[in-house]
Amino acid sequence: MWFSWLFGYAKVAFYGAKNTIILTAKDGSEKSLVDICKSATPTCRLHPLLFNGHLQTMYTAIGKQSIPIIYKRKVFESDDPEVAGSFVVDFVVHEPSEVDKTLPPRTTYYSEDELANIGSLDIKPMLITLHGLSGGSHEDYLRHVFAPLCTEEGGWEACVVTSRGCAMSKITTEVLYNARATWDFRQVVNWCRKTFPNRPLFGIGYSLGANILTNYLGEEGNKCPLKAAVVVANPWNLEIGNVGLNSTWLGREVYSKTLGTAMKRLFMGHVDQISKNPRINVENVMNVKYLFEFDRELQGPTWGYPTENAYYRDASSSDSLLAIRIPVFAVSAEDDPIATKLALPYEEIKKNPFACLCVTSTGGHLAWFELGGGRWFVKPIVGFLQTMARDIDHVKSSKKLDDMIQAMIQPSHADAGFRPMRRKLRYHHDPDD
C-alpha cells in the first residue's frame, strides 16, 4: 500500500458483462470489447503528491497548461421547434487564428466563404464532443485529448457541441440547457453525417456531457450513427450524486457552492433573455448558493419538474446505459468527489455487453494528473479511439452486433419487460409512443 502511494500507482479495475461484444479487426482477428479496453489502458501512475481525489480535483484550478488547439465556431439554429433557439459548435482547425475578444481564446467564427466550403469527402474519423457543466471547448481536459488526435499523425477531426449559453455563446430563447439536453448533439451528429458522409463518427462526453451523451446513446439504441463512444467521469445517477455531494462539508461548501456559483454566473450573463420566461423567479435564482438550489429554482420551473430530485431522477443516465447498442468505454475514478462512486452503475454495466467500465482507485474529477502535468485518462481514451478507428472492421463487425441485438430483444430475455428509455420528459424518438 505504501509503495503504491509513494510512487503514485493507482489500482485499475474493469467491469462489464460476462461476455462483451466481439468485434472483427481488419486483419481478420476477433477481439472482445473488454479486451480492447484493457489493451488501450496503461498502468495508472499519478502524481504522488496529489494522492487523493480532492487534491487531484483542486489541482485542475491551478494546473493549467497551454495546449494550442485552434477552433472555428459555427452557429446552428435548432431544427426542433419544441427546443427552438441557437447554439454553437467549435471545430478544431489547424491554421493560425485571429483574436476575437468576444469568444474564448484561439477561437474565431467561420467566415461565410469558409462555411460554404466546409463539407468534405475525406475518410478521417471525427470526434464529436460534449463538455462538462458550464464549460466549453476551451477546457483543458478535452484539449488534452484533442492534442494527440487532431494532428497529421493522429489523423482525426473534432468538434465541440457547446451547451446553450456556455463558452461566451448567446442564447436566443428563454431557457438554458439541462442534463438531458440531447437534441443539439443529435442535430450535430446528423449534420456531420450529411456534411462529411465518408467520415466515421465517434462521440465523447465529460462529466455532465458524459451524462447527456449516455442518454443520447440510449435514446438512439441500435439506430445510433456513431461507431463507438467514450464517457469520462459520468455522474450517472444525479440524485445519488446530489446526496453524496451534500453529505460532507467539503462537498457542500466547496464543490456544490462552486458549481452553483458557476451556473448562477452563467444565468446572470443571459438574465435579460431568460427572465422573459414567466416560470422563472429571477430573485430566487440570484439568491442561490449551491448547485441543487440552482436546479430547484431554474431547471425545475423551466422544464416542468416539481423538485430538483424529480429532475435528477429523470435526467440520470444509469438506466440509459441498458439501452446502448454501440461499443462504449466508460472511465471513472473511485475518489471522484463530484461524480461519486456510490452512483457507479456496477450492476447495470453487467447487463449490457456493449459497454465496459474502467474504474481507477484515485484520480479525482476529470483530473488524473501525472508528474509533469499530463493527464493519465488521455492514454486509454486515445488508445481506445485509435483502435476503434484504425483496427476494427465495422462492416464485418456489424453483422455480429446485429445478431446480438436481436438476441437481446427476444421475449426470453430477463429484462424484456423493462423499457429503460421510457423517460418522463418528452422524447422525440421513443419507439413505444
pTM of the model: 0.94
Does one domain contain both 391 and 257?
no
Domain boundary among 315, 345, 362: 315
Domain residue limits at 65: 2-237+316-397
Among 90, 295, 319, 336, the one annotated catalytic? 336
How far apart (Å, rounded) are the C-alpha atoms in residues 267 and 271? 6
How many domains does one find in the chain? 2
Amino acid at the residue 315: A
Does one domain contain both 193 and 129?
yes
Which CATH number characterizes residue 232's domain? 3.40.50.1820
35 is catalytic: no
Does one domain contain both 232 and 375?
yes
Query: CA geometry: angle at 264 spanning 261 and 267, to 5°?
Result: 155
Looking at the domain assignment, is residue 338 inside a domain? Answer: yes
Among 47, 131, 138, 365, the one annotated catalytic? 365
Does one domain contain both 40 and 144?
yes
Does one domain contain both 211 and 322?
yes
Looking at the domain assignment, is residue 430 inside a domain? Answer: no
Segment (H or E) for 239: helix 238-245
Looking at the domain assignment, is residue 428 inside a domain? Answer: no
170-to-266, 271, 395 alpha-carbon distances in Å: 11, 11, 41
Segment (H or E) for 309: helix 308-315
pLDDT of residue 4: 53
pLDDT tens across the length of the chain (433 residues) = 444 555 689 999 999 999 999 999 999 999 999 999 999 999 999 999 999 999 999 999 887 788 989 999 999 999 999 899 999 999 999 988 788 999 999 999 999 999 999 999 999 999 999 999 999 999 999 999 999 999 999 999 999 999 999 999 999 999 889 999 999 999 999 999 999 999 999 999 999 999 999 999 999 999 999 999 999 999 999 999 999 999 999 999 999 999 999 999 999 999 999 999 999 999 999 999 999 999 999 999 999 999 999 999 999 999 999 999 999 999 999 999 999 999 999 999 999 999 999 999 999 999 999 998 899 999 999 999 999 999 999 998 987 788 788 777 655 455 556 788 877 676 544 544 4
Looking at the domain assignment, is residue 405 inside a domain? Answer: no
Domain boundary among 296, 315, 334: 315
319 is catalytic: no
Domain boundary among 277, 292, 315: 315
Does one domain contain both 253 and 372?
no
Q: Do the Cβ atoms of 63 and 369 come closer than 8 Å?
A: yes
Strands 126-130 and 201-206 come out as parallel
How far apart (Å, rounded) are the C-alpha atoms in residues 411 and 406? 10
Does one domain contain both 216 and 246?
no
Looking at the domain assignment, is residue 420 inside a domain? Answer: no
Does one domain contain both 300 and 168?
no
Does one domain contain both 221 and 244?
no
Does one domain contain both 288 and 327?
no
Looking at the domain assignment, is residue 432 inside a domain? Answer: no
Looking at the domain assignment, is residue 409 inside a domain? Answer: no
pLDDT of residue 409: 64
Does one domain contain both 181 and 146?
yes
- What cell numbers appear for 174 in the block? 428563454
Residue keyed to cell 448547485: 291
Looking at the domain assignment, is residue 357 inside a domain? Answer: yes
Segment (H or E) for 189: helix 183-195
Does one domain contain both 299 and 337?
no
Among 134, 137, 169, 207, the one annotated catalytic? 207
Fill in the DSSP letter of residue 163: P
Phi, psi for 312 (deg, rounded to 5): -65, -45
4 is catalytic: no
How far apart (Å, rounded) are the C-alpha atoms in residues 389 and 287? 48
